[in-house]
Amino acid sequence: MDHSSTTPVDAAVTEAMLPYFSEKFGNPSSLYTIGREARRSMEEARANVADLIGAKKEEIIFTGSGTESDNLAIKGLAYRNRKNGDHIITSSIEHHAVLYTCKYLETQGFKVTYLPVSKEGVVNPTEVEAAITSKTTLISIMHANPEIGTIQPVEEIGKIAKEKNIPFHTDAIPTAGKIPISVDAMGVSLLSLSAHKMYGPKGVGALYIRKGTGLTPLLHGGGHERDIRSGTENVPGIVGFGKAAQLAKERLPEAAKITKLRDSLIKGLLEIKDSYLNGHPEKRLPDNVNIRFSYIEGESMILNLDMKGVAASTGSACSSKSLEPSHVLIATGLKHEEAHGSLRFTLGRANTQDEVDYVITVLPEIVNKLRMMSPLAR
Amino acid sequence: MTDGYSEKVMEHFANPRNVGEIKDADGIGKVGNPVCGDLMWIYIKVKDNRLEDVKFKTFGCGAAIATSSMITEMAKGKTLEEALEITRKDVAEALDGLPPVKMHCSNLAADGLHAAIKDYHERSGKK
């Protein structure tokens, strides 16, 4: 139950991709038959990805990852509009692909405002508006946070951005295929996507670029992807992404079933003494459960769950390479020791009520065992 | 996470030895900080200059729990002088190694034992 880390490639996606490794290996830039065939398939994929977010096909650029999409959106726009200003507004709970890109831009002389969030992890649109200066050239606020599941008021932020005529980027990697996305309703100029979070392959992302939004490329070369992202296209990956996007759109109604599992898991786990929900109770991704348990540490919960055959993740520092607790949990006002005790489950389409019930049965024993061992529990 | 943990670490983590507190302990070593994600309390019972019993309570990751468990086993039956010579390296080696980022957990277990012995000396000095 750790589908936010990544998802398995859907069998239909693999099947769609396979021919493009061997018999249909053409380079989309070649003019002869197999090249044209590759180009046609790629354009079909582009249309499918565009369709998932209510965009036009010409507004989609394929990249090598969601991280690249975020980098291209932020650096690309910041550099392109540098003559107009040097100020960027973002939030303190963005993915590192956004946060560290902003941190890098600060070393290049840009100024960045990192907005705080409420204890449920919500960015306040009024604070976005208040942060805008005459030098602001970009607002980047994620569609939802993948760790605590909180969905952001992007439509309201989009409205403000539009009124002030400032490009608005949103990282929709955690939401695409889970909740409906409409670039027009959200009022975004730029939107990042990644295939592997929606049952597509790893190594391919996309960036929606609204017509009229200019970007400075990160990669210079042969002028692929309308001269915004040079590099021979990853045709099998793109074809797989297109198929995954098509399936994701068809399967959006499944969110109702996953939401039910989510609520059942939250309810069951909150029955454990001294446990609390992280994130917002309603404005929440359909698949996200994030609960903190007092007096114990996340990695030891995960290892115990793993022994019981359950995969989960934690915001604890002890499970990260940096030994720093999750910046998202800290931004919601949790103390370090509270962040350490947080456990995240992200449900996928294959999860069942039986599996949810199993977790609700085994976790209390694990929490108990660890609390017996903990000097913090009294 | 599990990658990087030896079988021995996982074995001690799954079945930790000597968990709990000693009610009438002769010395208690409290080390670590919950802010960092590790807190370790080591309890000792001393008889004729030997560690008759050693127990622990730990808040922390897999390595913190496994090193706590291991050090209680290593220390039990040793003289106080021998116990003071147990180093972080000894604990890590007894567990067939630890991932590099987890080395400070093994440091903590040795520190906890040494702190408990120091506490014992301070208490007996007062008597």
B120 touches chain A (CB under 8 A): no
The span from the CA of A75 to the CA of A77, in Å, is 5
- Mean pLDDT on B40-62: 95
Task: Note if B61 is an active site residue.
Answer: no
In this complex, do A373 and B65 lie within 8 Å of one another by their Cβ atoms? yes
B38 touches chain A (CB under 8 A): yes
Minimal C-alpha gap between A346 and chain B (Å): 18
Predicted pLDDT of residue A321: 58
A373 touches chain B (CB under 8 A): yes
Say yes or no to pLDDT of B10 above 50. Answer: yes
A83 touches chain B (CB under 8 A): no
Predicted pLDDT of residue A31: 72
pTM of the model: 0.89
| Residue of B15, B59, B65 best to disrupt the A interface, most CBs of A under 10 A | B59
- DSSP tag of B19: B
Predicted pLDDT of residue A336: 86
Average pLDDT, chain B: 90
The span from the CA of B115 to the CA of A307, in Å, is 33
Torsion of CA A236, A242, A243, A247, to 10 degrees: 160
Q: A334: nearest CA in chain B?
A: B35
Confidence band of B2 (pLDDT split at 50, 70, 90): very low
- ipTM associated with this complex: 0.89
Confidence band of B1 (pLDDT split at 50, 70, 90): very low
Say yes or no to pLDDT of B3 above 70. Answer: no
Predicted pLDDT of residue B106: 63
In this complex, do A317 and B58 lie within 8 Å of one another by their Cβ atoms? no
| Residue of A320, A373, A376, A378 best to disrupt the B interface, most CBs of B under 10 A | A373
Q: B29: nearest CA in chain A?
A: A375
B2 touches chain A (CB under 8 A): yes
Regions of chain A short of the pLDDT cut 70:
315-323
Residue B106 near residue B8, CB atoms below 8 Å? no
Predicted pLDDT of residue A260: 96
Task: Note if B36 is an active site residue.
Answer: yes
B112 touches chain A (CB under 8 A): no
Alpha carbons within 13 A on the beta-carbon side of A69: 28
Helix (H) or strand (E) run with residue B65 in it: helix B62-75
Mind listing the pLDDT tens digit for each residue in A230-239?
Answer: 998 999 999 9
